[in-house]
Amino acid sequence: MSNTDHTHLLVIGGGPGGYAAAFLAADLGMDVTLVDLEVNPGGVCLFRGCIPSKSLLHVAKILSESREAKELGIEFAAPKIDINKVRSWKNSVVTRLTGGLGQLCKQRKIKFVQGRATFLNSTSVKVQKTDGTETQISFTHAILATGSIPVNLPFAPASPRILDSTTALNLDDIPSKFLVVGGGYIGLELGTVYAELGSKVTVVEMLPNLLMGADRDLAVILENRIKTHFAAIKVSTRVTKMEETAAGIKVTFEDKAGQISTEEFNKVLVAIGRKPNSRNLGLENTKVTVTERGFVAVNAQRQTTDPGIYAIGDIAGDPMLAHKASHEGRVAVEAIAGHKVAFEPAAIPAVVFTDPEIAWCGLTENEAAAKGRPIKVVKFPWGASGRAITLNRTDGLTKLIIDPETERILGVAICGVGAGEMIAEGVLAVEMGSLATDLKLSIHPHPTLSETLMESAEGFFGQSTHIYRPKRP
């Protein structure tokens, strides 16, 4: 038997966007109900994505640095990897963070319902709870935050040897030969983990280059490094067939010349992208518009075509990033509260947590070229950075995209150690409409990698201390 409850705000999905929205709404005094399948908030990012993958990437970083310390005169014995302890460490991080979110949920007196919600109409949902019972919840406002799911290869056989971004994090074992299908950030991050743990990793990408979303001068730095860590990189190559064998997965490749080849791997990771999780939500029972790609159409306030329902995060459109979802969640709640607000960021940062890291925000060179927009690009190679040299990591690059007329900073991109941390300064510069002069005159601590941002700005005027460039005409 079902019962019916009413809540002012119903949030469906407990990921970074969903719980950020629920928490802010509660802080603003709203009656909030949060529905999610997990026992605590966190979503894909925390349970099966961002956090566990970064935990494993930290392990990979330790292994890489211990190996490369030989160049500095320090030599360690070959590491002994206890995969069970590595897995336990990763799981403990997830448990600690999700448990903390559960406590914050209780402290804010948010009603948390563990289950799956389906819209009955524009003002109510049915929730199939994980304990087998069913309930109905009516609402004044609702926020959809159901995220995204991995895209699968239709011809891939159902096999535990074929992994997606979720199952690859389980670390059931370390395969000797590991294929990554997809040269985007998910595939390269997880490929890095498995390579450092001992797998011979091959990456196959159907497009001409890896990380097609990043500017080529950044991606090539990463490519040059992973070539020394991965067994092989196949670009402009399609996977056309997979067959399970007694020992693994037999994969058929076709390159751009039409040449066919086969190779057998112990396990295969399919990381060819994600798609919005908008199906089976009962949206057909509402006035919500779903696009051909499966995204929910929203306005600047993240309001759907059904006025009482909002959508945020992966389901509301690209880019599919946790921090974008969190910001959208806060915008939606502010709009529901009657505040004047809009989601109109000038710079959403993107970070690829490989080694080296790649990060960018604002306008990229690729985007400027596509739009025919005139720009001035200034670059500072890390070979001229004292801090990079002390770290023995001179393979980095910092660059600024600048409007040649106004001298406004339009975009920032960094490839190198700690790029993900450094990009925050770039986001601030773009959002505030900073000029190259502003960044040039901001005193940065020495010796740090952050100085490369300042020296890039100096380079715009032909005044960089540590590299020589002719003065601007």
Residues serving a catalytic function are 446
Alpha carbon 422 to chain centroid, angstroms: 16
Query: ∠ at Cα 371 (366, 374), nearest 5°?
Result: 85
CB neighbour class for 5 (10 Å; exposed up to 12, middle 13-18, buried from 19): middle
The token pair at 230 is 């991965």
Amino acid present at 322: A
Classified as helix, coil or strand, 38 is coil
> Which residues are CB-contacts of 130 (< 8 A; sequence separation ≥ 6)?
37, 114, 115
What single string gives the DSSP state of each residue in 90-159? HHHHHHHHHHHHHHHHHHTTPEEEEEEEEEEETTEEEEEETTS-EEEEEEEEEEE---EEE---TT----
> Which residues are CB-contacts of 268 (< 8 A; sequence separation ≥ 6)?
156, 161, 162, 163, 178, 179, 180, 181, 242, 249, 251
